[in-house]
Structure 1
Amino acid sequence: MSTVLPAVALSLVSAVAYAAAAVAQERLASRASGTGALRLLGSGAWWWSVALNAAAALLHVVALAYGPLTVVQPLGALTLVAAVPLGARTAGRRVSPAEWRGTALTLLGLAAILVTASGPAPGEVLSVPQALAVAGATAALIGMLSRPGARPGLRHATASGVASGVASALTQTVTVAATDRTGPLLSVQVIGVALLVAAFAAGGLLLSQTAYRGGLGAPLAVVTLANPTAAAVIGLALLGERLQGGPAGVLLALAGAGLASWGVVLLSRAAHRDDDHPVAAVLALQPGSAAPERVPRQPAPGHLTTVTR
């Protein structure tokens, strides 16, 4: 466990920073609806949220250099957990019982995953052929899920989560390879994989924007769960990561994944019922964006609502 403590600590701080930035962007969007981008550039609150986003992203990248993908990526769900008390405090309200249940289940599940997935700092990296193979398979899967004419929703959310998870897995290769003192800082491997990271990160963002047009709750849960799943598959299949404890450890990890998944679903349902919910504000995590984008949700009969991005 001690070998992954830096990764866990960095992931925790990163999640809090992401959540704080999301809540800040949500409040800014609600106060500045219709405000032009140029006016937002003069807002200290906007720059503060951008700085928090950038810091959170940097902390996540550093965490990938210290811990395996099977640990770091699931901890991304902590952003949803941190957004609940931060958003409730900012809005001057209490955390609801459903939010507490979702938070507790998510934390219990992540704790079980942490116990079984803890391992040494990453030492293996994807070779250029492996990275290209992963990129090709991922692109084919994304193309199948988001084919033209597909209705925005869970398929686009799955594609977004997979793209983001693969981007993080490739980021770990870039980080470990770039900090390897036995080789050049900017090798063909580092530059090539970094370009793939940029492509999949951008693709994941665009796919999530499409997915949330069909509603918030279920797509948000799918994105949150598909991300660590994709990264864990790469870590276990190609990077030599292993679960601790043999068959019992595998069962514990599966139970933890189930608990965490149910917790994320509960938090996502709470966000679906309330556009101003703090977890909904997590969707504003777009580094460099002027403000959360508001996109239309399919209305219920006789009722018109919007989803906060």
Structure 2
Amino acid sequence: MAETLPKDRVTQSFVGTLQWCWKRPLLTALEVLWRWVYGVPALLLLWHEGTRILQTTPLDDAALKQMTLLDPVKASLTLAKAMLALMPPLLAVAVWLVPLLVVTWVIVSSLGRTVVLRRVDSRLHVRPVTLMVLQVIRLAAMSTSFAVWFWCLQEAAKIAVTGPIAQGAEPSMVLYFALAIIATLGLFVLWALVSWGFSVAPLLAMLHGWGVGRSLASSFRLGGLKIKLVEINLVMGIVKIALIVLAMVFSASPLPFETVATQEFLTYWWAGVTVLYFVASDYFHVARLVAYLELWRATAVESGGGI
């Protein structure tokens, strides 16, 4: 039987939403299931193709192993040489692999998200095609953000590395990484501020049975509700950063005992940390969707309207 949000529950507390989701682990299990139904085969396919390319492409393994940050110029030249060798086979595979992964993700994520949201509230409309189109739009926006991020990294390299080298000065890797971190965090916060609309649009489509255009347009015109949605998105951004930091800390925790820890133990440990990270991330994804839904319900009740 599908989970239904209690009618008298209109709390706008994100902590309350987390507790509500925690008491319903099936929601997280469904989220994990549909993501891993896509993710595991995708990773295996990427591993297979990547291994095949590395085995068939001649690389200077000795030079790659000798790379060091103490000699960034030599390291960059080594990487550039390796990329020149790898790019032709990578592009040949990307021609068919990237569209396959994107199309599969759009289909699986739309169906999976429909199942999860219907489990949260069985009154929601089933709009898989609309969700697929909205997912394509979201992927396009995300790809644009990655392109901007890559451009920022290139500009940082010009300022801190290639620019000084061209002028006969020493490159500054510290400055490069500082600029890269600032750009990454800045774009991360910016995406958290503007991307909430892409997450709300599928919810509006299922709430009202709307099409793509109306759902997307309405998701960015929510009046006072917008501030609360942005706040939740920022909180989720902070949570994601915290999860990454925790995963890094737990991954590094066995290193002081590397003299007694076997490589097999470290492999299992890192695999376990990775799995826990993804499960926790999926849990917070579900909590965010439920929080969006609760906020919308609460606003509708306060305004005297319905869904």
TM-score w.r.t. the length of structure 1 is: 0.32
TM-score w.r.t. the length of structure 2 is: 0.32
Give the structure with the higher percent helix: 2
- Bigger-Rg structure (1/2): 2
